[in-house]
Amino acid sequence: MGARRDRFAVITDAAIELVAELGMRGLTHRAVDARAGLPLGSTSAYFRTRKALIEAVVRRLADLDRADFEATQLPTDLDRADVEATEVPTQLPTEATSGPPTGATEASGLATELPTEAITGSAVPAGGGGSLGPRELDQLAGRIAGLLDRWLTDGRTRTLARYACLLEATHHPELREILSYGIAFRTQARALLARAGATDPERTGNHLVACVDGLLFDRLVGAGSLTAPDPGSEQSRQDLQQAVRTVLFAMAGISEFGAPETGDA
């Protein structure tokens, strides 16, 4: 099993690099073999179709994201009852594991639709079902910012590949199941904002995920990449924290001074 897991990582890491550099058109079994330094036919022996290879890439992205969450020590004590109704199974369609490495990433946890959904879902301060005040939200913003900055630097290749996979799914209906993997994380974001006192956590939870993901996309490939502080710098992390903090406070209905907003003039 260990050898199979190692080969799975070698193949999918090579595939991630190709997708990030060349886009989805660059992802072929032969190209992965060459990039990974494997004998011709190795990738097709593990993943017989291109669809299976793409799904394997998504599983590997989920593995690496999970490792990032653990390294960042993001708390994960959100009540399970809040997400069980929409939790996504860890297994992908059987075609993705038709080759030798069946079950290679069973420990990866939930596959991700978007990285930021995983952040907003799992970065919940300790305290079970307790309320989240300005201090906790500010700490949460700092942790989210640190992880976003990492995905703009050490994880840049992975982030580019993830967006490419999502775009591929919009053109190929058979891959749209990839998009459903973020449902559980959206549910967690709603629960987080409910604890923070949001008046409409159902809607604002979705908005939070979209805003944070948009921030990452803008800094990675949008106009923000031209004007924002250099990724990896303290200025970058501070700027990201301020942006995330502003969104969290606004959606929780908390003013910059820490008191709930009442709408009074």
Whole-number pLDDT of residue 180: 66
pLDDT of residue 184: 62
The rounded mean pLDDT for the chain is 76
More confident residue, 264 or 234: 234
Q: Is residue 175 part of a domain?
A: yes
Burial class (CB in 10 A: 0-12, 13-18, 19+), 90: middle
Angstrom distance (rounded) from CA 65 to CA 122: 12
Q: Answer whether 140's CB lies under 8 Å from 123's CB.
A: yes
Does 255 have pLDDT greater than 90? Answer: no
Nearest alpha-carbon partner for 32 in 49, 18, 21, 47: 18
Contacts of 1 (CB under 8 A, 6+ apart): none
pLDDT of residue 119: 41
Instruction: Answer whether residue 260 is part of any domain.
Output: no
Query: What is the spatial distance between Cα 105 and Cα 48, in angstroms, rounded to a whole number?
Result: 18
* Identity of the highest mean pLDDT range in 55-59, 87-91, 186-190, 255-259: 55-59
Q: pLDDT at position 186, please?
A: 78
Range of the domain at 190: 2-252
Kindly tell me the burial class for residue 101, based on how many C-beta atoms sit within 10 Å of its own C-beta (0-12, 13-18, 19 or more). Answer: buried
State percent of the chain over pLDDT 90. 44
Q: How many domains does the chain have?
A: 1
Q: For residues 65 and 80, give the distance between their C-alpha atoms in angstroms, rounded to a whole number.
A: 20
Residue 80 has a pLDDT of 38
- Tell me the two tokens of residue 246: 């502003």
Residue 70 in contact with residue 28, Cβ under 8 Å? no
Q: What is the pLDDT of residues 44-99, one digit of tens each?
A: 999 999 989 988 998 888 778 777 767 765 444 444 333 343 333 334 444 444 44
Is the Cβ–Cβ distance between 30 and 37 less than 8 Å? no
d(CA 263, CA 96): 51
Residue 42 pLDDT: 96
Residue type, 245: R
Mean pLDDT value across residues 35-42: 96
Question: What pLDDT is stored for residue 107 in this prediction?
Answer: 30
Q: Which residue has the higher pLDDT, 99 or 33?
A: 33
CB 179 within 8 A of CB 166: yes
Instruction: Give the tokens for residue 145.
Output: 């910012």
pLDDT at 110 over 80: no
**Chain-centre distance for alpha carbon 141:** 16
3-class secondary-structure state, position 76: strand
**Inside any domain, residue 136:** yes
Percent residues over pLDDT 70 in the chain:
68
- The pTM of this model reads 0.72
Can you give the CATH number for the domain in which 115 is found?
1.10.357.10
Q: Would you state the pLDDT for residue 95?
A: 42
Question: Given the structure tokens 């069946």, which residue do they identify?
Answer: 102
Q: In 10 A of CB 141, how many CB atoms?
A: 22
Tell me if 262 is assigned to some domain: no
149-173 confidence digits (pLDDT tens): 999 999 999 999 989 988 888 888 7
In a domain, 257, yes or no: no
Q: Does any domain span residue 63? A: yes
* Of 12, 207, 10, 183, nearest in space to 82 by CA: 183
Look at residue 261 and tell me if it is in a domain.
Answer: no
- Within a domain: 259: no
Q: Which structure tokens are listed for 239?
A: 């700027």
